[in-house]
Structure 1
Amino acid sequence: MDTHLQRDDVERYFGASFERIEKFATNLAHEGEKRGLIGPRELDRLWDRHILNSAAVVPFIPEGSSVADLGSGAGLPGLVIACMRPEAHVRLVEPMERRCVWLEEMVETLDLDNVEVLRGRAEEFHGAFTVDVVTARAVAALDKLSRWALPLLEPQGMLVLLKGRNVAAEVDPARKVFRKYSMGEPVISSAPTLEQVEPTTVVTVARQGV
C-alpha cells in the first residue's frame, strides 16, 4: 500500500468491499506493468492515483444502476465500481484483447457475478444495449467521449466521468453533442476520498428534465 496511507483508514473507507479491492490492487501491482496496464512509476502510488481515484466516482452513481465503463483498460474505474456496488450491473467495454483477457481474469479472481466484459469500441455497441450510467477515466476529451457515450444512455441516464482538473476547458466544444442528446449542463465536482489523498474531479451530465 502507498507509504503515506494507513491501512486502517483505507480499510474503513472501502468497508465490506475492501477484501476484493485489496486483491485487485495486489494483482494489478504484480501484473500491471508486465501486461502494459500501468507504468512502472505508478506502482508506488497505485492506491492513491488509481484505486482511490476510481472509487471517488462511486458516490455519484445511483444505487442499483446499470453501468458501462468505456475503455476500461485495467478495470479503472469499472472493477472498483463493481466491487463497491455489488447490486450494480457493470459492463466493461474495452477494444484491446489482452486487456479483455486481464479483465476476465479479474472478474473470476474477485468472484464478481455483476460484471460483463465486452470487447470492442464504444460506438460498436450503439443500439446493442443501454445503461443508466456511462463512466470513463482518461479516455478522451469530453466532446469525443460524449459522442461515444451518449447513444448508450437510457432516457433517464447520465454521464459520470473521471476527468482532469482542466476539464472546464472541454465543456464548450462538447455543447453541440450535449444539445443533440438533450443533455443538461455539466456539473464539475471535487470528489474527496481520504484526507491524505488529493480530491478527484468528477463530471456529471444528466438529461434535461431529470
Structure 2
Amino acid sequence: MIASEEQARAHVAARCDPAAMARIERFIEALREENARQNLVARPTLETVWQRHIADSAQLLDHVPRETGPWLDLGSGAGLPGLVIAAMRPDWPVVLVESRRKRIEWLERMVAHLDLPRCRVEGARLEQVQTFAAGVISARAFAPLARILSLSSRFSTADTLWLLPKGQSAAQELQDLPKRQSALFHVEQSQTDPRSGIIVGRLAGKAGS
C-alpha cells in the first residue's frame, strides 16, 4: 500500500522514464496554478498530490499490457487518470472526453504544454463522440457503473479492458449490476487507498453495436 508522497513518487518513477517524470512534474506545477482559478481537484488533496492523484492514476497501468489500443478516458476533468497515462505513455493514443468548457480548455493547454501529439481532447458529451474501438476504457468520478456501461459499451470490443476507479462504492456498484454483466468484472484493491477499489474487466461486444 502506498502510504506517503515519497512512496507514491517512487511508484510512478518505477513505471516510466525520466522524460515522463519531467512531464508529470510540469503537470503538477500547472495543476497547482490552475486550481487557484478553477476547482479542478479538492484543494486539500494538493498536499498529497502524488498519492491522491498521480500514483492513483498510474496504478492503472499495472493492469494493462505494454502494447494496447486507444485509451478512452471518460469525463477527464483535471486530466485524471487520462492525462497522467498520456504523460507516462506518450506513444499510446489517448482520448480525453470532457464536456465542460473550462476543463476542455485546460486539457487542451496541457496536451500542448506536455507535448503529447498522440493525445487528443474530445470536447463534447460522450453521446456525441464518434464510435471507435477502444483498447482501454477508464473513468474516475464520471458516473455510476451501470450508467458508464450503458453510455460507453459502443466503444468496447471483446478485447477492451475496463479500468474504473470507484472508491468505496466499487463492490456495491458491481453487485447492483445484472448478474450477466457483474460476472465479467471484479474489484481490485486500490494501492493508494485501503478503502477504495478499481473495477476491472472486459465487456464482450462489438464497437458500434
1:204 is aligned, of 184, 200, 205, to: 200
* 8 A contact 1:64–1:87 mirrored in 2: no
- Structure 1: runs of 5+ lacking an equivalent: none
Q: Give SS of 1:174's match.
A: coil
1:21 maps to what in 2?
Answer: 24
Greater than 6 Å deviation, 4+ residue runs:
none
2:43 maps to what in 1?
Answer: 40
1:112 maps to what in 2?
Answer: 116
Shift of 1:14: 4.5
1:5 maps to what in 2?
Answer: 5
Shift in alpha-carbon separation, 1:11–1:185, aligned structure 2, 3 A: closer
Separation in 1 of the partners of 2:123 and 2:12?
A: 32
- Structure 2: runs of 5+ lacking an equivalent: none
1:162 is aligned, of 157, 160, 165, to: 165
Q: Please tell me the root mean square deviation across aligned C-alpha atoms, in Å.
A: 2.5
2:82 maps to what in 1?
Answer: 78
* 8 A contact 1:163–1:203 mirrored in 2: yes
User: When the two structures are aligned, how many residues end up with a matched partner?
Assistant: 198
Residue 143 of structure 2 is aligned to residue 148 of structure 1: no
* 8 A contact 1:186–1:206 mirrored in 2: yes
Shift of 1:163: 1.3
Separation in 1 of the partners of 2:137 and 2:13?
A: 27
1:128 is aligned, of 123, 131, 134, to: 131
Separation in 2 of the partners of 1:129 and 1:11?
A: 29
Shift in alpha-carbon separation, 1:155–1:22, aligned structure 2, 3 A: same
TM-score, reference length from structure 1: 0.83
2:188 maps to what in 1?
Answer: 189
Shift in alpha-carbon separation, 1:122–1:184, aligned structure 2, 3 A: farther
Separation in 2 of the partners of 1:11 and 1:68?
A: 21
Shift of 1:78: 0.3
Question: Greater share of strand residues, 1 or 2?
Answer: 1
Shift of 1:202: 1.7
Deviations 1:92-149, CA, capped at 9 Å, x for gaps = 0001111111001000110011101001121222x53231111000111111111112
* 8 A contact 1:57–1:191 mirrored in 2: no
Q: Give SS of 1:56's match.
A: helix
Alignment identity in percent? 32
2:175 maps to what in 1?
Answer: 172
